[in-house]
Structure 1
Amino acid sequence: MPRTLPAPPPRIARLPRDKHARPVPWFVAIFDGVPDFRVVGTGKLDDAIRFRCCWLCGEPLGANAAFVIGPMCAINRVSPEPPSHRDCADYAARACPFLTTPGMRRRDTGLPETAVEPDGTMIRRNPGVALVWTSRTWRLQPHHRLWTVGDPIETRWYAQGRPATRAEVLASINSGLPLLRAEAEQDRRPAAALAELEAQHVRALELVPG
C-alpha cells in the first residue's frame, strides 16, 4: 500500500507538482518538462549561495536554517547541500522516497551528461535514518561546495518518515562509522585523524534520542 505523505508546509505546497502530484523541490533539474529528482538544476547551487535561499522551496532563509543530513554528517558536521527552512527540511525528511525507504538505492543509470557529483567524499548508501539539523550558524567551506554546520539548536531524527528510535539511530551510526574510519586511515597523519574522528563520534552520540 502506498504510504500517505504528510501535508506539506505552505512554502512546499506552492511548488510545482510532478505527474504523481509530488512537490518538486526548487533545486531539481527539469528536462523536457519532466523533473529529475537526482539532478541539481543549472545554477541552483550558485543561486542558493548568492541569494541565501532555501534549497527546497527557493524562498529566502531566516535567522535559523536546517540541513537534512545522515548520521555520518552528524559526526563530521559537514553537509553536501545548502541549508533550508526547518519546516521544509522536516517535510523532506518525512516525505522523500529515498530518505524514507531504507532499502532504496540511488539510481545512477540514465543520468544526463550535465550531472555532477557533490564535493567531498560521498558515502553511497542509504543510511536508513535522516537527521534534520537546525542551527543559527553555518558556513561554506573555502574551495569546496560543502557546508560546515554550527552547533544545533534542535535535532530531529527520522526513520521511514516517522521519529527514529534510539536503536535505529545507533544502528545507522555503527554501520557507517567503519567507512569514516577507513577514510581517516588514509590521512597523512592517520593516528591524529582517527583520534579526531573518535572525539567527533562521542560528540555526535550526545545528540542521539533517548
Structure 2
Amino acid sequence: MTSFLYNGITIPERMRHLPIMENGMPLPTFASEAKTILPLNQHTASARLSAMANRRCYICGDKLHDLVSFIGGPDEAMSKLYLSPPVHPECADFIMQACPEISDALAPSNPGFFAVSTTANYEYDAEKGVFLISDSEEVWWSKGQRVPGDVMDILHELTQTLRAI
C-alpha cells in the first residue's frame, strides 16, 4: 500500500504521481532529469523553460491556476523578484514543511529563512531572468516551521544593517 505521508506530513494529492526517492520523498519535477535535488543554478534549463512556457508547477508538474506561490529568501521577498518558477501553494507548503533541502535548492541565497509569496499577479522578465510579483501575501518558514512575519521584518532590517557595516 502506498503511503501518502512523508515524515508524518501528508503529501498533497497533486504530488502523489511523482516518483519516490529512496528516503520516501516525492521527487519534484524540476529534479527528475538529474534524479537529485540540485541548487537552482544547476537545474536543467529545459525543466525551467518547460514549466514557464506551459504554466506548470515547478514541483508537481501539473497545470497552474490563477493563484501561485514563489519560494525564495528574504531578499527575494523584499524585492518581489524571484528566481524560481511558480508553484501551487499546497506544493510550496508541503516542501517548506517536509523538505528544507528543496527550499535550499530553490532559494540558494537564503540565510536559513524562506518566504512563500502567494499571488495572482506576476510577470517574467526574460532579460533579467526573474519573476516580478505584486499584491502578494508572504508566509515565512525556517527549518520546516512557520515564522511570524514581524520576526522576519526585524531579521531583514538587521541583515541590511550588517551588510552596510
TM-score class normalised by the smaller sequence: 0.7 to 0.9
Letter of the aligned partner of 2:156 in structure 1?
I
Find the aligned partners of 2:79 and 2:88 in 1 and give their Cα distance. 22
Q: TM-score, normalised by structure 2?
A: 0.80
Find the aligned partners of 1:136 and 1:144 in 2 and give their Cα distance. 21
Matched, 1:161 2:161: no
Matched, 1:50 2:53: yes
1:178 deviation in Å? 5.1
- Find the counterpart in structure 2 of residue 9 from structure 1: 12
Q: How does 1:62-81 map to 2 (within 5 A)?
A: 62-81=65-84
CA RMSD of aligned residues (A): 2.9
Q: How does 1:90-169 map to 2 (within 5 A)?
A: 90-98=93-101, 124=109, 126-152=110-136, 154-166=137-149, 168-169=151-152
Q: Is the 8 A contact 1:55 1:84 kept in 2?
A: yes
- Find the counterpart in structure 2 of residue 18 from structure 1: 21
Runs of 4+ with >3 A deviation: 165-168, 178-182
State the structure with more CA Rg: 1
User: In the superposition, relative to structure 1, how do residues 180 and 45 fare at CA in structure 2: closer, same or farther (>3 Å)?
Assistant: farther
Find the aligned partners of 1:55 and 1:179 in 2 and give their Cα distance. 34
Task: From 61, 64, 68, give the equivalent of 1:61.
Answer: 64
* Unaligned residue ranges in structure 2 (runs of 5+): 1-5
SS in 1 for 2:123: strand
Q: Is the 8 A contact 1:78 1:149 kept in 2?
A: yes
- Find the counterpart in structure 2 of residue 36 from structure 1: 36
1:55 deviation in Å? 0.8
- Find the counterpart in structure 1 of residue 30 from structure 2: 27
Find the aligned partners of 1:23 and 1:57 in 2 and give their Cα distance. 9
Identity %: 23
